[in-house]
């Protein structure tokens, strides 16, 4: 879509949100979970296959370069300065032969080009160098949309007394959303960091963040989240 079309999509969504927000408030939705006492940053699929051009999974490059990566850098700086856990999540598959009788892709490849995410090509699934993991940060490999589905994530978080997850990454309509929904289901407080979440399709971020904020987590700005990360331990 052109920039003009994207702006028109955003305008129409804004009008729809105004109506929907009124309905939600009348029915008791859009409540606040709030920040907890012990946060972790969960960065979903901010790996080269999504953050760099030339891949089927590539997301909006303008937003990636000018909003998401800078927001992530601020969040990482705050986490690293104050000792908050960081978990980088990526996706790759070991058996990518579409004709194989058995594959760790399951049947997802029947719907999306999952076979592109080849475990033997770390240049695709490696975390973007601009936000590369440091010593003491964990990189989690997932096989499905949610960072919780079939992984050790919930157990790691509970073992480290985490009650709040700041979720960033791509895509808003799939892996970020599923991670937030499963995080809530597993008893964590999901916080979607507005400027650090992206997608491939115009309107997808705005719609999903609106819906998440109504039902599954709190949508907060990068500024709010950085302030929280910088101050959460002071009054503990």
Determine which of 49-58, 84-93, 131-140, 203-212 has the lowest per-residue pLDDT on average.
Answer: 203-212
β pairing state of 39-44 and 164-170: parallel
What structural domains does the chain harbor?
Answer: 39-89+143-231 (3.40.50.850)
| Confidence band of 2 (pLDDT split at 50, 70, 90) | very low
Residue 236 reports pLDDT greater than 60: no
Q: What are 86's strand-pairing partners?
A: 41
Q: Is 175 one of the annotated active-site residues of the chain?
A: yes
Over the stretch 133-153, which tens digit does the pLDDT of each residue have? 999 999 999 999 999 999 999
Exactly one of 173, 174, 175, 181 is catalytic; which is it? 175
CA distance 234 to 224: 16
């Amino acid at each position: 879509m052109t920039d003009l079309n994207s702006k028109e999509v955003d305008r129409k969504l804004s009008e729809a949100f105004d109506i929907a927000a009124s309905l939600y408030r009348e029915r008791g939705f859009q409540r606040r979970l709030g920040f907890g006492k012990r946060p972790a940053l969960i960065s979903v699929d901010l790996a080269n296959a999504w953050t760099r051009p030339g891949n089927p999974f590539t997301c909006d490059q303008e937003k990636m370069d000018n909003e998401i990566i800078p927001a992530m850098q601020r969040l990482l700086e705050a986490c690293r300065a104050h000792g908050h856990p960081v978990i980088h999540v990526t996706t790759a598959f070991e058996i990518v032969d579409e004709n194989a009788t058995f594959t760790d892709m399951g049947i997802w490849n029947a719907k999306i080009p999952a076979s592109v995410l080849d475990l033997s090509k770390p240049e695709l699934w490696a975390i973007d160098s601009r936000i590369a993991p440091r010593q003491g940060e964990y990189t989690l490999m997932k096989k499905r949309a949610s960072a919780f589905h079939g992984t050790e994530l919930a157990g790691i978080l509970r073992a480290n007394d985490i009650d709040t997850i700041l979720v960033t990454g791509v895509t808003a309509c799939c892996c970020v959303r599923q991670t937030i929904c499963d995080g809530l289901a597993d008893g964590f407080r999901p916080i979607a960091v507005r400027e650090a979440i992206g997608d491939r399709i115009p309107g997808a971020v705005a719609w999903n963040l609106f819906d998440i904020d109504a039902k599954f987590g709190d949508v907060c700005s990068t500024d709010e989240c950085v302030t929280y990360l910088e101050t959460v331990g002071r009054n503990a």
